[in-house]
Amino acid sequence: MSTPSILSDRINSLSESATLKMTKLGRELAAKGVNVISLSVGEPDFNTPEHVKQAAKQALDDNYTRYSPVPGYPELRKAIVDKLKNENGLDYDASQIVVSTGAKQSLSNAILTLINPGDEVIIPTPYWVSYSEMVTLAEGKSVFINTTIDSDFKITPEELEAVITPKSKLFMFSSPCNPTGSVYTKAELEGLVRVFEKYPNIYIISDEIYEHINFIGQHESIAQFDSIKDRVILINGFSKAFAMTGWRLGYLAATKEIALANDKLQGQTTSGTCSIAQRAGIAALDQGLETVLEMKAAFARRRELVYNLLKDIPGVKTNLPQGAFYFFPDISSFFGKMDPQGNVIKDSADLALYLLNEGHVATVGGDSFGNNNYIRLSYAASDENLREALRRIKEALAKLA
Ligand SMILES: Cc1ncc(COP(=O)(O)O)c(C=O)c1O
pLDDT digits (tens, 9 = 90+) for 80-117: 999 999 999 999 999 999 999 999 999 999 999 999 99
Predicted confidence band at 23 (pLDDT cuts at 50, 70, 90)? Answer: confident
Q: Is 128 in the pocket of ligand 1 (CB under 6 A)?
A: yes
DSSP 82: H
Q: Is 328 in the pocket of ligand 1 (CB under 6 A)?
A: no
Element (H, E) at 7: none
Q: What is the pLDDT of residue 192?
A: 98
Q: What is the pLDDT of residue 4?
A: 82
Q: Is the dihedral of CA 65, 69, 71, 77 positive or negative?
A: negative
Domains, the chain, ranges and CATH? 9-47+291-398 (3.90.1150.10), 58-286 (3.40.640.10)
Residue 210's nearest CA partner among 244, 247, 174 is 174
**Which atom of ligand 1 lies closest to the CA of 177?**
1
Rounded mean pLDDT, 73-79: 98
pLDDT tens, position by position, 40-60: 888 888 899 999 999 999 999
Exposed/middle/buried for residue 69 (C-beta within 10 Å: 0-12, 13-18, 19+): middle
Q: What is the pTM of this model?
A: 0.95
With vertex at residue 29, the alpha carbon angle to CA 26 and CA 34, rounded to the nearest 5 degrees, is 115
Pocket test for ligand 1, best of 209, 273, 379 (most atoms within 8 A of CB): 209
Q: Is 208 in the pocket of ligand 1 (CB under 6 A)?
A: no
pLDDT tens, position by position, 256-293: 999 999 999 999 999 999 999 999 999 999 988 888 88
Ligand 1 center to residue 209 CA distance, Å?
6
1 has a pLDDT exceeding 70: no
Pocket test for ligand 1, best of 239, 244, 248, 252 (most atoms within 8 A of CB): 239
Residue 30's nearest CA partner among 385, 394, 400 is 385
Q: Is 73 in the pocket of ligand 1 (CB under 6 A)?
A: no
For the chain, helix, strand, coil in percent to 5 are 45, 15, 40
Predicted confidence band at 158 (pLDDT cuts at 50, 70, 90)? Answer: very high
CA distances from 280 to 229, 335, 378 (A): 29, 47, 26
22 has a pLDDT exceeding 90: no
Ordered alpha helix ranges (H), 269-347: 275-287, 290-311
Predicted confidence band at 317 (pLDDT cuts at 50, 70, 90)? Answer: very high
388 has a pLDDT exceeding 80: yes
Q: Is 239 in the pocket of ligand 1 (CB under 6 A)?
A: yes
Ligand 1 center to residue 176 CA distance, Å?
12
Give Dmax (Cα) for the chain. Answer: 63
Q: Is the dihedral of CA 189, 190, 192, 196 positive or negative?
A: positive
Pocket test for ligand 1, best of 17, 19, 128 (most atoms within 8 A of CB): 128
Q: Is 245 in the pocket of ligand 1 (CB under 6 A)?
A: yes
Ligand 1 center to residue 71 CA distance, Å?
19
Predicted confidence band at 182 (pLDDT cuts at 50, 70, 90)? Answer: very high
Pocket test for ligand 1, best of 41, 104, 248 (most atoms within 8 A of CB): 104
Residue 130's nearest CA partner among 18, 21, 10, 246 is 18
Whether the bond into 176 is cis, omega within 30 of 0: yes
Residue whose Cα lies nearest atom 13 of ligand 1: it is 42
18 has a pLDDT exceeding 80: no
226 has a pLDDT exceeding 80: yes
Quote the percentage of the chain above a pLDDT of 70. Answer: 100
Ligand 1 center to residue 104 CA distance, Å?
5
What is the rounded CA–CA span in Å between residue 190 and residue 171? 15
